Amino acid sequence: MRQFGYERPTQIGAALAAVGAPGARYLGGGTNLVDLMKLGVENPELLVDVTGLPCDRIEPAAGGGLLIGATVRNSDLAADPAIRRRYPVLAQAVLAGASGQLRNLATVGGNLLQRTRCAYFTDVSKPCNKRAPGTGCPARDGEHHNHAILGGSPHCVATHPSDMAVALVALGAVVHVLDGEGAAGVPIEELYRLPGEEPDRDNTLAPGALITGVELPPLEFGGRSAYRKARERASYAFAIGSVAAALAVSDGMVSGVRLGLGAVAPVPWRAHRAEAALLGGPATEEAFAAAAAAELADARPLRDNGYKVPLLANLMTQVLTGLAAEVRR
Ligand SMILES: Cc1cc2nc3c(=O)[nH]c(=O)nc-3n(C[C@H](O)[C@H](O)[C@H](O)COP(=O)(O)OP(=O)(O)OC[C@H]3O[C@@H](n4cnc5c(N)ncnc54)[C@H](O)[C@@H]3O)c2cc1C
Ligand code: SF4
């Protein structure tokens, strides 16, 4: 059994100092990191538990949106009345993820930084460029039915597993980060990076950077939003495709739209191309289907995951059509 240390600071400065020790890692709810430690994928020397830090509230942000503390539990986030009213897509995405017990433990910061569920990544007896750079990517020719159709590289085609992050990308959230350089607000799309030639780097954070919170902008039409997730069984399971959408319609025309896609790429994917195609055009099922097709035109499926192209096209069309119907009601 491997020995490791454990600390639970109550001040942010102390957490930053503690994580500076060799082999130290932050610990949120531990629902991903501890699993990976048991599998031998992660081997930290010291766990710095962030759940004692004063980052556990959801409160109004200066710009009119909401600031969600990084240690807010997923269950508390999904149950928060302001989140449910102003950003239902986020509450729905969180509730679509994992199980009740897991959501009671999992934190916002940990959810964003959870690692891929690619079976080769979690099996230390197999090669995997993300876990052991330069060893290869057996998923490309092996088991890849739930791998990326967008944004992959010859070195890695894993998908990002978070449901929450898909909603946050659609909402244009800003991640509050603290590191040796000070505090910064990182637009969530810039938090994540595509694998390119360095698939071991999932994100753009500096070593030891602490996520302190996530800020939601005051999106006017955030209240008309929804999350739709396809998965292989009705109880808890990771997505094989998901869509987060927010829609504003004025006189039958799309006056605002936000779209995020999940389980299609190594990052939670903002569907910029579909958004641009829709804005100012008719809010009809035909237009939604055309925009979905435009977004997916660059999809490069592998041998066994081509089903994701029609799946995502249908999910996008359905969820937007449903939101447009709500406007007419
Ligand atoms: C059986 C099962 C099913 C699941 N199904 C789903 C699902 O359907 N959808 C879904 O989205 N997720 C699912 N999950 C994943 C679950 O949502 C994540 O494990 C959880 O959100 C991670 O949060 P955590 O706080 O436990 O993170 P931890 O495991 O504590 O940490 C994860 C990572 O984040 C880092 N970290 C944590 N907090 C911070 C911080 N504040 N600043 C910087 N770094 C930090 C840690 O160092 C670690 O690298 C499932 C998990 C399991 C076990
Ligand atoms: S897809 Fe990525 S995580 Fe999976 S085996 Fe290939 S390199 Fe590893």
Each residue of 166-221: pLDDT tens digit? Answer: 999 999 999 999 998 999 999 999 999 999 999 999 999 999 999 999 999 999 99
Contact (Cβ atoms closer than 8 angstroms) between residue 188 and residue 198: no
pLDDT tens-digit readout, 118-150: 999 999 999 999 999 999 999 999 999 999 999
* Residue 328 confidence (pLDDT) above 90: no
Residue of the nearest CA to atom 8 in ligand 2?
128
Residues having CB within 6 Å of any atom of ligand 2: 116, 118, 120-121, 128-130, 137-139, 147, 156-158, 199
Q: What is the pLDDT of residues 84-102, one digit of tens each?
A: 999 999 999 999 999 999 9
243 pLDDT band, cuts 50/70/90, is very high
CA of 137 to the centre of ligand 2 (A): 5
For residue 109, pLDDT over 90 is answered with yes
For residue 1, the CA-to-ligand 1 centroid distance in Å is 23
Alpha helices in the chain, H assignment, sequence order: 12-18, 33-39, 74-79, 81-86, 88-95, 100-105, 108-112, 164-171, 188-191, 272-278, 285-296, 308-328
Instruction: Provide mean pLDDT across the span 306-312.
Output: 98
Residue 234 clears pLDDT 90, i.e. is over it: no
CATH 3.30.390.50 domain extents, the chain = 224-328
What is the percent of the chain with per-residue pLDDT over 70, rounded to a whole number?
A: 100
Question: Which residue puts its alpha carbon closest to atom 9 of ligand 1?
Answer: 97
The verdict on the CB of residue 313 being under 6 Å from ligand 1 is no
CA of 191 to the centre of ligand 2 (A): 20
Query: In the numeric block, which tokens belong to residue 91?
Result: 């509450």
List every span in the chain annotated with CATH 3.30.43.10.
5-49
CATH class of the domain at 224-328: alpha beta
> What's the pLDDT tens digit per position in 15-56?
999 999 999 999 999 999 999 999 999 999 999 999 999 999
Identify the pLDDT of residue 311: 98
Ligand 1 pocket test: which of 72, 108, 113, 176 has the largest number of ligand atoms within 8 Å of its C-beta?
113
Q: Is the pLDDT of residue 58 over 90?
A: yes
Tell me, in angstroms, the distance from the centre of ligand 1 to residue 111's CA.
4
Nearest to 157 by CA among 324, 310, 304: 304
Write down the pLDDT at residue 129. Answer: 98
Per the CB < 8 A criterion, the answer to whether 106 and 98 are in contact is: yes
Q: Residue 327: its pLDDT value, please?
A: 76
Please report which ligand is nearest the Cα atom of 116: 2
Predicted pLDDT at 2: 87
C-alpha 159 – ligand 1 centre gap (Å) = 15
Tens digit of each residue's pLDDT (9 = 90 or more) over 262-281 = 999 999 999 999 999 999 99
Class assignment of domain 5-49?
alpha beta
> Under a CB-based contact definition with an 8 Å cutoff, are residues 58 and 52 in contact?
no
pLDDT beyond 90 at 329: no
Residue of minimum CA distance from atom 2 in ligand 2: 156
Alpha-carbon distance 147 to 154, whole Å?
13
Specify the pLDDT at position 44: 98
Q: How many C-beta neighbours within 10 Å does residue 63 have?
A: 12
Q: Which ligand is nearest to the CA of 114?
A: 1
Nearest bound ligand to CA 71? 1
**Interatomic CA distance for residues 203 and 169, integer angstroms:** 14
Ligand having the closest approach to the CA of 98? 1
> How high does pLDDT run on average in the chain?
97
pLDDT band at 152 (very low <50, low <70, confident <90, very high): very high
In angstroms, what is the span from residue 32 Cα to ligand 1's centroid? 5
Verdict on whether the full-model pTM lies above 0.85: yes
Q: Is 116 in the pocket of ligand 1 (CB under 6 A)?
A: no
